[in-house]
Structure 1
């Protein structure tokens, strides 16, 4: 049980959380830049990108997302962003508040409710496991899902410890290799597949994660193939260490992982073995439940 922490550590972790969430917003905004310009597909994806940004930003404040902020993060001209937001407003996916900010509209909320009816069983089955992980570790537990060459935080649960990990929030999106869960997913892929993922994200790593060493990430992946778990010593967010294990579902490719994150002194020594045991147990529980769903 954690009996307290350095207030400076807590403050630094909170600030890292804000920075990382903004980084995730930038990743959402720039993930489509490699598409052919002037195509209808690019226009649709840019509109959806703005919709995602409004949701991410407005989710953290009551006065919504400002036009200037959405334009700044997206890198699009303010006039272009305004026109696209107006189109989304006309369709009911975005609404403008009296204060001038933007938030998700009724149609987005309805779409979210409809999506709940067809939610990924993996997300549903992970709920109890994440609650147990958070309660038993007294730290923050995460479910990470793969989406193409990126990973997304699909669910998180916080323990009752005094230090909360704010480095990753639900909906945050990073290139594969950023975070313990993401690395655990990569550890289940072949070396050639891992190379392909890093190559696909080479530009985003260079521009948005210049301090992250791809060689160091490869070393962690290689070690994880032997150990069966990832130990991430704060390579991305210094001071935010984490353990991760892949979710191995029969007949399914690697696309998910569980992880626990905290401050360094809670993710070292003998506690590593305890955290790994907890993660493996819950990963096995989820995999068995999903296999039962798949069986006739």
Structure 2
């Protein structure tokens, strides 16, 4: 969330409090003094949060610079998270966004944040890289049967065996809509993902594309969310697949240490 002079979940929760308050009062907006009074967050911290949220596109200010309003990115985030009631905590998602931007900048390809909703995967956010040809395999709010797409496969592979088998069974009738994927193929890819530690999905949901996905689990081992990168197949050599997976895991491990300390 920018250069706020505090870090970790506490600051992120304060940022979420500010966003939620702005959502309630839209379109009137609020100033720092009003927000401080209603949230019991001191005014200096509110101003720092406003600056960080503004730099990330979550809020915008009026021409005089005194009142702040919910930005389009903030509205989209609230909507997308609201579509997944059991999804990852909002502070965790907010913390993941700078990580996704770093990945998109480093790799040049599109990066996706995905959560599980029952037997489906749901895209929560995406960042676009600067490579001329982007594979936008999904968009915010888009749902797939869990296991279709690299992010969904990473989540499926992180489930307990019985749960994963039930999801595959429940989705069996839908799989052939996605490049002729079969139950047997999904299960084989799931086991490969478990052995490898990250998913590789090629030419199934999106032709000519290859995706790499990694999941984050909580202290109980349950999948919380996943991040994936998609690119044209020619950009995903075996060597680069491993490098992408390493970068994904590094970012997810950093987030996990902050939010799921033992």
TM-score bracket for the superposition, by shorter chain length: 0.5 to 0.7
Q: Any conservation in 1 of the 2:136–2:230 contact (CA below 8 Å)?
A: no
- SS of residue paired to 1:247: strand
Q: Distance in 1 between matches of 2:91 and 2:127?
A: 18
Q: Does residue 235 of structure 2 align to residue 266 of structure 1?
A: yes
| Match in the other structure for 1:191 | 161
Q: Does residue 145 of structure 2 align to residue 175 of structure 1?
A: yes
Structure having the larger proportion of residues in strand: 2
Q: Which runs of 4+ in 1 moved over 3 A?
A: 111-115
- The offset of 1:195, in angstroms, is 1.3
Q: Structure 1-normalised TM-score?
A: 0.56
5 Å matches for 1:96-245? 112=79, 120-206=90-176, 208-209=177-178, 211-245=180-214
Q: Distance in 2 between matches of 1:114 and 1:150?
A: 14
Q: CA RMSD in A?
A: 2.5
Q: Distance in 2 between matches of 1:278 and 1:174?
A: 25
Q: Does residue 259 of structure 2 align to residue 290 of structure 1?
A: yes
Q: Does residue 247 of structure 2 align to residue 275 of structure 1?
A: no
- The offset of 1:249, in angstroms, is 2.6
- SS of residue paired to 2:260: helix
Q: Any conservation in 1 of the 2:213–2:226 contact (CA below 8 Å)?
A: yes
Q: Which has the higher contact order (CA 8 A, sep 6+)?
A: 1
For 1:42-78, what per-residue CA distance to the aligned partner results, in whole angstroms no more than 9, with x for missing partners? xxxxxxxxxxxxxxxxxxxxxxxxxxxxxxxxxxxxx
- The offset of 1:235, in angstroms, is 2.0
- The offset of 1:202, in angstroms, is 2.4
| Match in the other structure for 1:10 | none
For 1:211-246, what per-residue CA distance to the aligned partner results, in whole angstroms no more than 9, with x for missing partners? 122222211111111110111112222211100111
Q: Distance in 1 between matches of 2:164 and 2:81?
A: 34
Q: Distance in 1 between matches of 2:101 and 2:147?
A: 25
- SS of residue paired to 1:236: coil
Q: Any conservation in 1 of the 2:116–2:225 contact (CA below 8 Å)?
A: yes
Q: Any conservation in 2 of the 1:250–1:287 contact (CA below 8 Å)?
A: no
- SS of residue paired to 1:167: coil
Aligned residues: 182
- The offset of 1:210, in angstroms, is 6.6
For 1:105-142, what per-residue CA distance to the aligned partner results, in whole angstroms no more than 9, with x for missing partners? xxx99x85996xx9622311210110011011110111
For 1:228-276, what per-residue CA distance to the aligned partner results, in whole angstroms no more than 9, with x for missing partners? 0111112222211100111123235113111100000112221112111
Change (3 A) 1:113 1:223: closer
Q: Structure 2-normalised TM-score?
A: 0.63
Unpaired stretches in structure 1, ≥5 consecutive residues:
1-107
Q: Distance in 2 between matches of 1:271 and 1:123?
A: 26
- SS of residue paired to 1:245: strand
